[in-house]
Chain A
Amino acid sequence: MSNNVTPEKRVKVASNQSAASNQSVSRWFKKNNHGNRLLTLVLFLPPALLLFTIFVILPIGEAGYYSLFRWNGYGEPTKWVEFGNYTRLFKHSAFDTAVWNTLKIILISIVIQLPLALIIALSIYKKSWTNSLFRLIFFLPYILAEVAAGLIWRFVFDGDYGVMSSFTEALNTDSWYILADNNWAFVAILVVLVWKYFGFHMMIYIAALQGVPKDLIEASKLDGASRFQAIWYVKIPLIISGITISIFFSILGALQTFDLIMPLTGGGPSNSTHTLVSYLYTFGITRMNVGFGSAVGVVLFICCVIFAFTYQSTMMKDKK
C-alpha cells in the first residue's frame, strides 16, 4: 500500500464526494429553476412527450416507413419498393383530380364562402331578436352532421325524386342527374360545402364585429363616412384577425374534406370528385394498399405542414 488510507476512510471519502456532487446538482438546479419552471418541465414534460410520441410522432414515422413498401396490411411489410408508391401516385390521374378538387375547394372558400359569410355577418351582427333568429338559421347547417347533410343533399340532387327533379319538371326539360355528371358533380359538392360551412365563418365574423368599439364607427359617421366606407375603413381592418383565422380554418378544412364526399358521390363518377382524403381512403384503405395509402398520407402531411408554417409566418404574424 503506497498510501495509508484505511478502507473505512476510503468509503468516507467516496461518500463525501458523492454528497458534494449531490450538492452541486441541487445548486445547479436551484440556480436554473427560474421560479419552479425547470421543476414543472421535469415533472410534466415526460408524460406529455410520451403521449405525443406514441400517438403523433410514431404514427407519422410509421406512415413514412410503410410508404416505402408494397403492403396489404397483413402481418409485417416485406416487399420494399423504394419510392414506387410515390411515382405511382404522381402518375395517377385520379390523384391529379383530387389535388385540383382540393384547390378548387380552397378557391371557392376564399372567393365565395368567406365574402358571403362576411356580408351576412355585417347585416345581422347587431343584437336584436330577429338577428338572433337569422343567426340560428344560418348556423343550422353547420350543426348538422356531415354524413347526414350529404345524404340529404344526395336526395335533393336526385333526378328521379329529389328537389332537382321537380325543378326540371317545372322547366319541362329532361331530368338531370347532377351527381352522375362528370363535369357538374363536383360543382354540386362545392354548393353543399359553401352551404354547410358559411355559418361557421359567419359566427367568427359576428363575434369579431361585436368587439368593434361603437365610438369608432360613430366617429367615422361624424366624419362623413358612408356606410360602405365605415365597413371598408373601420370594421374590416378591426376584424382582420378574425378573417385570417377563418381563412386558416377554411384551407385546413379543404385539406380534410371527406365526410361530405362519401355519402354524396363516393368520389365518383369516374373518380372526378375525390379530394385528397377521400382519395387516400379509397385507394389506400379500401383497396388494401396500406403502403400506397401511407404515401398519400405523407404527401398530405407535407402539404399541411408547408401550409401551416407559411401561413403562420406570413398572415398570422403579429404586425409590429
Chain B
Amino acid sequence: MRYQNTKTLHKLERNWKKVVYPMAIAASLTTSFTWADTTIRMLHLEADPKVVSVWEQVAHDYEKANPGQTIKLEYLENEAFKQKLPTLLQSEQRPDIFYSWGGGNFQTRVDAGLLKDVSKEMEDVKSKFSDVSFNAFNYQGKQYGLPYMVSQVGFWYNKSLFQQAGVDADQVVTWDDFLGAIKKLQAAGITPITTAGGDKWPVQFYWALLTMRQAGQQGIQDAIDKKEPAFAGEDFIKAGEELKRLVDLKPFQSGHLAASFGDSSGNFGDGKSAMQLMGDWNYLFQAQQSISGKGVGDDNLGWMNFPVLKDGKGKATDTLGGIAGWVLTSEASPEAVQWLKYFSNIEMQKHLASINMIIPVVKGADVAIENPFKKRIAQNIANSSWHQLFYDQAFGANVGSVVNDVSAGILGGALSPQEAAEQVQEAWEFE
C-alpha cells in the first residue's frame, strides 16, 4: 500500500502540469462566463465629459437597483470608432451595445447578422419615441435598437457681421436670395462662409441639401431605388450646378480646401466669417474652437434654414440631419436589453436636453430645452415634412464617401457637376 501511494505521488509530481493547467483554464473560463453575464459593455464616441458624467450617474443608479450587474461605458474617438468597429464587431471583444447612426452602415451590419433583433422587447416602449427616430433603427420590419438624439443641419450666422453688410437673414428664403447675401457680405469685405474641405463631410451638406431641394423626397427615393437615371439624373446635375454657382462667387475662407472641421468652426467662432453650414452640435463646438473660448455669443448668433430652390421639388420644411442611437450586438444578453430600455428614459433625455447636449427623441422631453436655438431646431425636426439622414451615413461607407469626394471636388474645381453626379451613380450601381 505504502509503495503504491508513493508511486501515485511520483506520478503526480511528474505530471502536475497536466492537472493544474486544465484546472486553471477551467477556472478562468467559468469566471469569464459569470463575468460576461453581469457586465454590460456599451461602446460610445461621446467626447464631452458633461454627457459622459450624466451617463455614468444613470449607470450607477442602475447598478444599485440591479445588484450583480455592471455597466461598462467604453469610449473610442470618432474616427477610431468608425475604423475599428467592423473588426471589433466580428471579434470576441464586441460590446453588447454600441452607438450607431441610422442608415446604410447600420443596414450593412444587420445584413451581416451582427445585430440583435429586439422587435418584441421594444414593443412596449415604441410609443414613447417619435416615429421617425424610432424607425431609424428599424430595418425590413425589425427593430435593432433605440434612438438617442436627432440633429439638423443649417446655417449658423453671425448677426453683427450680417448687419454690417446689410443682410437680413429673414429675407433669405431662396437660393438666389442667399447668393445675393453672399455678394453683399463680400462687398462689405467680410468672408461670407467658412467650411472644412479637408474633412470633406461638411462640404457634403451643400450637395446633399441642394439635391434634396431640387429632387425632393420622391426624387431621392427613386435614385436610391435605382430608377433610371438615378443619381446621374437632371436634378442631381442641376443641384451640382447651383453649388458651382456658389463656388464661382468664391465665398469661402482662404485655405478652405485643406481646413478641418475644427479649423472651420474656430474660424466662425472667432468672427472671421459670417456663416457656417453645420449641425446643431456646432453651437458648443464653435465656442470651444474659438481663440477666446467663448465663440460667437448667444446674442450675436443666428440660425437659418437652408434656402429653397425656385423650381425645386423639395420643400422648405424638409430637413437634413442625423438620428443617432444605440444598437445591440447579436449576442447581447437580455440584461443589456433591459439596461438600454432603462437608459433611454425620459428623465435623462430631459436632463441632457436642459444642458443643451442633445435634441431628445423621447416624446415630451423637448419641453426641457431652454436654449432658443436648440428649441427652434427641435421644432424644425418635429415639424419636418421629411427628415433625411446625412448622405454619408444613409448611403453606407462607400457611396457616402464618394458623395463627400464629389462635393469637395466641385468646391475645388476638380469636378464638373455632371461628373460629380456620374461618379455618385457609378458608386451606387456598384453597391
Closest Cβ of chain B to A72, distance in Å, is: 6
Task: Given A74-B114, A270-B409, A289-B398, answer yes or no on A159-B254 (Cβ-Cβ < 8 Å).
Answer: yes
A286 touches B254 (CB 8 A): no
B112 touches A287 (CB 8 A): no
Q: Tell me whether A272 is interfacial, beta carbon within 8 Å.
A: yes
Those of A265-306 within 8 Å (CB) of chain B = 265-266, 268-272, 285-289
Q: Tell me whether B389 is interfacial, beta carbon within 8 Å.
A: no
Kindly specify which of A135-143, A171-179, A212-220 makes contact with the partner chain.
A171-179
Task: Given A180-B197, A180-B259, A288-B86, answer yes or no on A174-B430 (Cβ-Cβ < 8 Å).
Answer: no
A74 touches B90 (CB 8 A): yes
The digit string for A229-271, where 1 denotes a CB below 8 A from any CB of B, is 0000000000000000000000000000000000001101111
Q: Tell me whether B256 is interfacial, beta carbon within 8 Å.
A: yes
Complex CA–CA separation, A266 to B256 (angstroms): 15
B108 touches A177 (CB 8 A): no
Complex CA–CA separation, A74 to B254 (angstroms): 41
The digit string for B74-115, where 1 denotes a CB below 8 A from any CB of A, is 000000001100110110000000000000000011011110
A72 touches B108 (CB 8 A): yes
Q: Tell me whether B249 is interfacial, beta carbon within 8 Å.
A: no
| A residues less than 8 Å from B259 (CB atoms) | 180
Task: Given A74-B114, A179-B258, A287-B398, answer yes or no on A269-B83 (Cβ-Cβ < 8 Å).
Answer: no
A269 touches B397 (CB 8 A): no
Considering the complex, give the chain A residue whose CB is closest to the CB of B105.
A288
- Which among A84, A177, A272 is the interface contact of B414 at CB below 8 angstroms? A272
Considering the complex, give the chain A residue whose CB is closest to the CB of B415.
A270
Complex CA–CA separation, A287 to B403 (angstroms): 12
Q: Tell me whether A104 is interfacial, beta carbon within 8 Å.
A: no
Complex CA–CA separation, A232 to B18 (angstroms): 71
Q: Tell me whether B412 is interfacial, beta carbon within 8 Å.
A: yes
A175 touches B408 (CB 8 A): no
Q: Tell me whether B169 is interfacial, beta carbon within 8 Å.
A: no
A286 touches B83 (CB 8 A): yes
Q: Tell me whether B255 is interfacial, beta carbon within 8 Å.
A: yes
Q: Tell me whether B200 is interfacial, beta carbon within 8 Å.
A: yes
Complex CA–CA separation, A159 to B259 (angstroms): 10
Q: Tell me whether A182 is interfacial, beta carbon within 8 Å.
A: yes
B109 touches A180 (CB 8 A): no
| B residues less than 8 Å from A74 (CB atoms) | 86, 89-90, 108-109, 111-112, 114
Task: Given A74-B86, A75-B113, A270-B415, answer yes or no on A288-B398 (Cβ-Cβ < 8 Å).
Answer: yes
Considering the complex, give the chain B residue whose CB is closest to the CB of A271.
B405
- Which among B87, B89, B108, B257 is the interface contact of A269 at CB below 8 angstroms? B257
Q: Tell me whether B401 is interfacial, beta carbon within 8 Å.
A: yes
Q: Tell me whether A27 is interfacial, beta carbon within 8 Å.
A: no
Considering the complex, give the chain A residue whose CB is closest to the CB of B113.
A75
| A residues less than 8 Å from B262 (CB atoms) | none
A-B Cβ contacts below 8 A, count: 86
Q: Tell me whether B216 is interfacial, beta carbon within 8 Å.
A: no
Q: Tell me whether B198 is interfacial, beta carbon within 8 Å.
A: yes
B257 touches A287 (CB 8 A): no
| B residues less than 8 Å from A84 (CB atoms) | 430
Task: Given A70-B430, A74-B86, A288-B398, answer yes or no on A177-B412 (Cβ-Cβ < 8 Å).
Answer: no
| B residues less than 8 Å from A179 (CB atoms) | 258
Those of A74-124 within 8 Å (CB) of chain B = 74-75, 84, 88
| A residues less than 8 Å from B113 (CB atoms) | 75
Task: Given A72-B397, A88-B430, A268-B200, answer yes or no on A177-B86 (Cβ-Cβ < 8 Å).
Answer: no
Those of A32-53 within 8 Å (CB) of chain B = none
A177 touches B401 (CB 8 A): no
Task: Given A74-B108, A175-B255, answer yes or no on A182-B401 (Cβ-Cβ < 8 Å).
Answer: no
| B residues less than 8 Å from A289 (CB atoms) | 398
| B residues less than 8 Å from A88 (CB atoms) | 430
Complex CA–CA separation, A70 to B429 (angstroms): 12
| A residues less than 8 Å from B254 (CB atoms) | 159, 174-175, 177
Complex CA–CA separation, A181 to B409 (angstroms): 12
Closest Cβ of chain A to B41, distance in Å, is: 20
Complex CA–CA separation, A74 to B111 (angstroms): 9
Q: Tell me whether A160 is interfacial, beta carbon within 8 Å.
A: yes
Complex CA–CA separation, A70 to B259 (angstroms): 33
Complex CA–CA separation, A159 to B397 (angstroms): 32
| A residues less than 8 Å from B111 (CB atoms) | 74
The digit string for A168-193, where 1 denotes a CB below 8 A from any CB of B, is 00000011010111100100000000
Closest Cβ of chain B to A283, distance in Å, is: 8
Which residues of B are at the interface with A, using a C-beta cutoff of 8 A? Answer: 82-83, 86-87, 89-90, 108-109, 111-114, 197-198, 200, 254-259, 396-398, 401, 405, 408-409, 412-415, 430
List 9 tightest A-B contacts by C-beta distance, closest first: A177-B255, A74-B112, A270-B414, A180-B258, A180-B257, A269-B257, A288-B397, A179-B258, A270-B412
What would 20 more interface pairs be, CB under 8 Å, given A75-B112, A179-B258, A180-B198? Answer: A73-B87, A74-B90, A74-B112, A88-B430, A158-B255, A174-B254, A177-B255, A177-B257, A180-B259, A182-B413, A265-B198, A269-B257, A269-B258, A269-B412, A269-B414, A285-B83, A287-B397, A287-B398, A287-B401, A289-B398
Can you show 8 pairs from A to B with CB atoms below 8 A apart? A75-B90, A84-B430, A177-B258, A180-B197, A180-B258, A269-B412, A287-B397, A288-B398
